[in-house]
Structure 1
Amino acid sequence: MRKFNKISTKIKVIGALLIFLIGGVIGTTAYLTQQNTKDALLINIAGKQRMLTQEISKTIFYAQYSKIFDFSEMDKASHEFIEGLDTLKNGNKTQGIFIVSTEEISNQLDKIDYLWGNFYKNIKDYKQMAASSIENEEEMKKIVDFIYANNTILLENVDELVTMFTNHSEGKINFIKTFQIFAGILLFMIFIYSFSQLKSIESHVDSFMQYSKMLADNEDISNLAPIQLEAESESEILEVSDTINCFINKINAAVGHSNEALLQSQKASSKLEELTDEFDTILDELKDRSLASKHLNNSEDIVIASTEELINSTKKLTNIKKELDKLIKNCQELK
């Protein structure tokens, strides 16, 4: 959890989310747009199949009643229909068209393939009879009737296939729209999350800077208060604050010890002064006694020496306190 609270980690997570989402939107949209282009080509091929069946039927009807047996256009239309049906069923790598793998479309293509097989067989039979010198008028009429009856069925099934391809393509378009809306909402949420995290970082840094400014402006270092940050603050800020708090605690301890030592030395100095006064009184009373005077003088020298040492210690401790007091002034001058 502490690792995730690092400022660098938060920035990396936000950046990774944005890159992933934007890349996903661009990649998915580009891919589906390309697929829709191929779907449009499939719809165009399927729609053309309807026209080809009508052209083939028209040629047969015209030949039957005009007795002009020119099947060049019909052969061309039949060949184009066969190629188109093969592309719809198996795809075309040259054109970049792939199989549409839906069960509904696959079943419909199989049905059209079956209808076309019977339809095309009768067309070829009609051509053979038309090219034959044998009179086959009755058989040719039956074929024409079959084509007339099945042309509508084939046309309706091809038309249904076109509708299926159209619905399939529209489904992809709707998916793109839905995906883009979802991605937009997700992107908005990431922006809100990013803004909240940046505000949190700004708030924690501001608290730290305010404390640093207060620390620099404070002239009294006798009792510095440690910095208090929220538990969810970023780990980098917490580490710096812990270091500063450690330094503050050491300063507080040093000031406390120096003040206590200074107070004790002052008390000792006061006691020694009292003892000195008492010795002076005793000396006045015993000034006529040479031996006592000698011993008392020695004791007085010892007391005076001790007093001087305590006074020196007091001065040194006072200097230490002054040096600590200068620390704040130096911080103010550097500010």
Structure 2
Amino acid sequence: MIKPTTISTKMKLAGGLLSFVIIFIISLTVMMNQMSKKDSYIINIAGKQRMLSQKISKETFFIVHRHTNDFRELNTAVGLFESSLKDLLYGNDAKGIYAPQNERIKAKLEEVMALWLPFRSEVEALKSGIEEVRPDMEVLTPRIEKLLMLSDTVVQRMVKANLSNIHIDLSGRQRMLSQRMGLYVNRYLRLANAQDLLVFSDARALYNKTIKSFLDDPAVKNSPEVYAIVKENNAYWEEYIVYLEHVIAVENGINKHMAYVYEKNVQLLNAMDEAVWLYTAHSEAKNDMFLKFQYIALLVGLIIIVYAFVMSKEIIEHLEGFVQKAKELAHGDVSKFSTLPVTLSSNSEDELQEASSHISLFVHKVNLAMKDSEDALKKAENAVSQLQQLAEDVEDVIEDMGIDEHDKKTFDKNVNATEDIAIQSAENLIHVNRMLQKLKKKPQCDGR
């Protein structure tokens, strides 16, 4: 792992990592809230499917047993159940519903769809049966009354024709059987009780047997009026029984559809309920995962904070060491640092290392300047001494040569100017040397 060696890099690294963790936690929290809203919405829709399955069954039973053709509530429930099921199974971006996010939910919704398609077909067939049988049931009572009236007319005609008591008794029983059939067929159409259908079937067989026997009876044939009403009764009976068989057949189909709805409703409800629990478990698993990510991010954030603290402490220690070296330089002998430069530990930051190297270079240059100044001062003093000695020698030579006074003064003046220049240069060098010495001795004085 590459370790940062500069203060700016360390600060940027700690700040960048901490910023990344904070942004990550905020983004994760926002995303988790959005996903939780969507999950809650989807779970609500899936839970509503359970209610709709029960509503469909309830409306079906209500329509059948109340003998009504009002399918509005049933159609609404069926349409909403199917559209919501398709949204759950295939997703609907417009409504914010996503497709199943794991195979278990998808498999369970496919199972619900497999139950729903035949279930819906049975409901539609039941509606068609009801729409077909209701008009026939509306004329059932008038038909029963007409059969009763014809059966009663047969009795009256037989009495008027003075037929035997057996004929009158049998024709009277026909009136009772017509009423019995009407009663039990009505009960069967309302309650779908198989026992009522058996009673109706027995009454129908007996009525049919009796009416056919009247047609073949010689006594009946010998009475034109009686035979005519019996033939009319039989013709209507045959039409009536075809009508009843059709109504009963349609009602049997409705009852079969009802039985299917009753049986499969529980399976559909249970499958949808399992899907809801799978959605709930999946949502809780996602929330747990998001919480784990948050905890991990918080732990990483704490680690970064500790790392930043340790790194800051390390930087402070290195700065204190640098300041200590600067104090030693300020209160020590500068000349000593020419052989012993200002150095820090090898793990110090690059900026401090660079600053220490510049200070060492500066101290080295100061020492060189002091050394050069001392050397120059010595040379200047030597030059002044030599010039003075040379001037004295020249004056002695001039005295011996006998040069006039005017030339002698001119020559002395030039020699004095040269001496002044040499002396002034020496004095300047002495001043510079004193300044450097003062720079060198000042930290020691301050230390005292």
Given the two structures, how large is their TM-score scaled by the length of structure 1? 0.77
Query: Is the deviation greater in 90-99 or in 229-238?
Result: 90-99
1:333–1:76 CA distance, 2 compared to 1 (3 A): farther
| Equivalent residue, structure 2, for 1:236 | 351
The answer on 1:95 being equivalent to 2:108 is: no
Q: Shift of the alpha carbon at 1:180? A: 1.1
Aligned residue type for 2:344: L
Larger radius of gyration: 2
1:44–1:334 CA distance, 2 compared to 1 (3 A): farther
Aligned residue type for 1:124: E
SS of corresponding position for 2:99: coil
SS of corresponding position for 2:354: helix
Distance across 1 between alignment mates of 2:98 and 2:361: 69
Distance across 2 between alignment mates of 1:211 and 1:83: 81
Query: Is the deviation greater in 183-192 or in 68-77?
Result: 68-77
| Equivalent residue, structure 2, for 1:325 | 437
Q: Shift of the alpha carbon at 1:3? A: 8.9
Q: Shift of the alpha carbon at 1:121? A: 0.2
| Equivalent residue, structure 2, for 1:283 | none
SS of corresponding position for 1:147: helix
| Equivalent residue, structure 2, for 1:248 | 363
Query: Is the deviation greater in 205-214 or in 231-240?
Result: 205-214
Distance across 2 between alignment mates of 1:63 and 1:261: 126
Q: How does 1:45-194 map to 2 (within 5 A)?
A: 45-133=45-133, 134-135=246-247, 136-194=250-308
Distance across 2 between alignment mates of 1:53 and 1:175: 33
Q: How does 1:195-234 map to 2 (within 5 A)?
A: 195-218=309-332, 220-224=333-337, 225-234=340-349
Q: Shift of the alpha carbon at 1:101? A: 2.6
Aligned residue type for 2:298: G
Distance across 1 between alignment mates of 2:41 and 2:312: 49
Query: Over aligned residues, Cα RMSD in angstroms?
Result: 3.3
1:76–1:333 CA distance, 2 compared to 1 (3 A): farther
Q: Shift of the alpha carbon at 1:39? A: 0.7
Query: Is the deviation greater in 316-325 or in 61-70?
Result: 316-325
Q: Shift of the alpha carbon at 1:70? A: 2.6
SS of corresponding position for 1:94: helix
Q: How does 1:282-301 map to 2 (within 5 A)?
A: none
1:64–1:316 CA distance, 2 compared to 1 (3 A): closer
Q: Any gaps of 5 or more consecutive residues in structure 1? A: 264-311
Distance across 2 between alignment mates of 1:332 and 1:104: 85
Aligned residue type for 1:23: I
Aligned residue type for 2:284: E
Query: Is the deviation greater in 129-138 or in 246-255?
Result: 246-255
| Equivalent residue, structure 2, for 1:33 | 33
Distance across 2 between alignment mates of 1:334 and 1:155: 95
Q: Shift of the alpha carbon at 1:25? A: 1.1
1:171–1:255 CA distance, 2 compared to 1 (3 A): same
Q: How many residues align?
A: 290
Given the two structures, how large is their TM-score scaled by the length of structure 2? 0.58
Equivalent pair of 2:342/2:360 in contact (CA under 8 Å): yes
The answer on 1:43 being equivalent to 2:43 is: yes
Aligned residue type for 2:108: Q
Equivalent pair of 1:53/1:151 in contact (CA under 8 Å): yes
Equivalent pair of 1:217/1:332 in contact (CA under 8 Å): yes
Aligned residue type for 2:92: N
Equivalent pair of 1:217/1:328 in contact (CA under 8 Å): no
SS of corresponding position for 2:307: helix
Q: Shift of the alpha carbon at 1:226? A: 2.2
